[in-house]
């Protein structure tokens, strides 16, 4: 019988609010931080920064391509621009601008993207980008971060200011449990091992980290010991954390609110196929667009819920 899993829940909030608080905090600490927004200040929770530092806040209007170019140019002379809009408009709409003016030009821009994935809910598939992690991780020079809860999003927002180079920071709309400690030391590229286990490794990012914690509890009741890793940085991937865990468990499940194609699971598979091939199961959206509905309904319908992580873990173990 495995031990009872105890993860303290510190409250419930949306990750975008963590971004808003983090932006205000880093704005106070670093006068070179500037913020740009394409007509979604309220949705991105950037109002506090705007009110505190109006001279460092730039309302661009509904012109995301222009926003990315302006952000790139603002780095010349030492500013650290944080752009804010929905994840879809932060990536697919402006991919070429990011590619040429930010990634290829090595500009110190922080692309902050809210309402990522299915959980933005009722707005439907036009806004539910599920390809953004893949697009962004393919760009040379780009760091890709998907924090798991409010506290971690706040910590990551602050931490990326000290990282020289372009960053994609992805967060979301729904209110989700907070379990990362407010004083945790967030380090880019260093995964958090949340639950230690021996039978299966579950590696998740974003909203799927909490689902994976729930899954580990359910698995524990079935006598299965699951290790849960919060892989908040997709690129650079914490290879050591993956390899050390898999060496112990012998199989892996990746879990993400993203297309299976091109996501976190792909990065893990690429690493393992070259070093330690083990059975892997994927929890993610399988080559389909989303639709309108509540976040809860959509996670269930599209197979990115707790039960899916449990099933994937059992399947991975069977394949060992």
Binds other proteins (CB under 8 A): choice among 74, 169, 176, 255? 74
Alpha carbon dihedral 143, 283, 238, 92, in 10-degree steps, equals -10
Name which of 73 and 279 has its Cβ closer to other proteins: 73
For the bound state, the minimum distance from the C-beta of residue 52 to other proteins, rounded and expressed in Å, comes to: 16
Q: How far is the CB of 202 from other proteins (least distance, A)?
A: 37
Residue 79 is a binding residue for other proteins (CB under 8 A): yes
Regarding 81 and contact with other proteins (CB under 8 A), the answer is yes
Give the count of residues interacting with other proteins (CB under 8 A).
31
Shortest separation between residue 166's beta carbon and other proteins, angstroms: 12
From CA 149, how far away is CA 115, in angstroms rounded? 14
Distance separating alpha carbons of residues 7 and 169, to the nearest angstrom? 25
- Our CB check for other proteins shows the closer of 106 and 198 to be 106
Q: Does 65 bind other proteins (CB under 8 A)?
A: yes
Q: 191 with 238: CB under 8 angstroms?
A: yes
**Other CB atoms within 10 Å distance of the CB of residue 21:** 20
Beta bridge partners of 230: 192, 204
CB of 131 to other proteins, least distance (A): 20
**According to the binding rule CB under 8 A, does residue 72 interact with other proteins?**
yes
100 near other proteins, rule: CB under 8 A: yes
**Segment contacting other proteins by CB under 8 A, of 67-75, 183-191, 203-211, 266-274:** 67-75
What are the phi and psi torsion angles at 274 (to 5°)? -95, -15
The dihedral region occupied by 121, where left means phi > 0, alpha psi between -120 and 50, and beta the remainder, is left
Please tell me whether residue 259 adopts helix, strand or coil conformation: strand
The footprint of other proteins on residues 23-62 (CB under 8 A) is 34, 55-56, 58, 60-61
- Residue 63 near other proteins by CB under 8 A: yes
Tokens of 278: 């083990």
Q: Is 92 in the site for other proteins (CB under 8 A)?
A: no
Q: Which of 9, 28, 29, 104 binds other proteins (CB under 8 A)?
A: 104
Does 259 engage in binding with other proteins (CB under 8 A)? no
Using CB under 8 A as the binding rule, whether residue 71 contacts other proteins is answered as yes
Q: Classify 169 as helix, strand or coil.
A: strand
Written as six digits, the tokens of 26 are 């880093």
91 binds other proteins (CB under 8 A): no
Interacting residues with other proteins between 161 and 190 (CB under 8 A):
none
Q: Does 114 bind other proteins (CB under 8 A)?
A: no
Written as one string, the DSSP assignment of 215-226 is: HHHHHHHTT--E
d(CA 63, CA 107): 20
CA of residue 233 relative to chain centroid, distance: 7
Q: Using the rule CB under 8 A, is 112 a contact of other proteins?
A: no
* Residue 77 binds other proteins (CB under 8 A): yes
* Closer residue to other proteins (CB): 105 or 261: 105
Q: Is the dihedral of CA 138, 139, 140, 145 positive or negative?
A: negative
**162-182 CB burial, b ≥16 within 10 A, e <16:** eeeebbbbbbbbbebbbbbee
Selected range binding other proteins among 70-78, 171-179, 182-190, 292-300, rule: CB under 8 A: 70-78
Closest CA to 277 of 316, 222, 233: 316
Cβ-based nearer residue to other proteins, 72 or 204: 72
Site of interaction with other proteins (CB under 8 A): 34, 55-56, 58, 60-61, 63, 65-79, 81, 96-97, 99-101, 104-106
């Amino acid at each position: 019988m495995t031990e009872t899993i105890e993860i303290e829940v510190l409250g419930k909030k949306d990750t975008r609010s963590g971004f808003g608080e983090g932006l205000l905090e880093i704005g106070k600490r670093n006068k070179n931080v500037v913020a740009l927004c394409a007509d979604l200040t309220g949705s991105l929770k950037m109002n506090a920064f705007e009110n505190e530092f109006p001279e460092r806040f730039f309302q661009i209007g509904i012109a995301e391509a222009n926003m990315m170019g302006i952000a790139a140019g603002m780095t010349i002379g030492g500013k650290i621009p944080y752009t804010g809009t929905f994840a879809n408009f932060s990536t697919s709409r402006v991919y070429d601008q990011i590619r040429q003016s930010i990634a290829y030009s090595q500009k110190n821009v922080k692309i902050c993207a809210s309402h990522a994935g299915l959980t933005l809910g009722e707005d439907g598939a036009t806004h539910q980008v599920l390809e953004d992690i893949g697009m962004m991780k393919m760009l040379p020079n780009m760091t890709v971060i998907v924090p798991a809860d409010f506290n971690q999003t706040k910590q990551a927002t602050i931490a990326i200011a000290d990282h020289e180079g372009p960053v994609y920071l992805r967060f979301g709309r729904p209110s989700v449990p907070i379990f990362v400690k407010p004083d945790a030391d967030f380090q880019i590229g260093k995964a958090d091992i949340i639950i230690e286990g021996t039978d299966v490794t579950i590696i998740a990012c974003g909203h799927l980290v909490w689902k994976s914690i729930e899954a580990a509890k359910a698995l524990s009741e079935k006598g299965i010991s699951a290790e849960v890793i919060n892989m908040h940085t997709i690129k650079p991937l914490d290879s050591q954390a993956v390899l050390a865990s898999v060496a112990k468990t012998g199989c892996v499940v990746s879990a993400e609110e993203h297309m299976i194609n091109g996501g976190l699971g792909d990065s893990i598979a690429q690493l393992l196929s070259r070093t330690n091939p083990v059975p892997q199961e994927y929890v993610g959206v399988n080559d389909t667009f989303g639709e309108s509905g509540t976040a809860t309904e959509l996670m269930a319908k599209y197979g990115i819920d707790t039960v899916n992580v449990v099933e994937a873990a059992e399947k991975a173990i069977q394949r060992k």
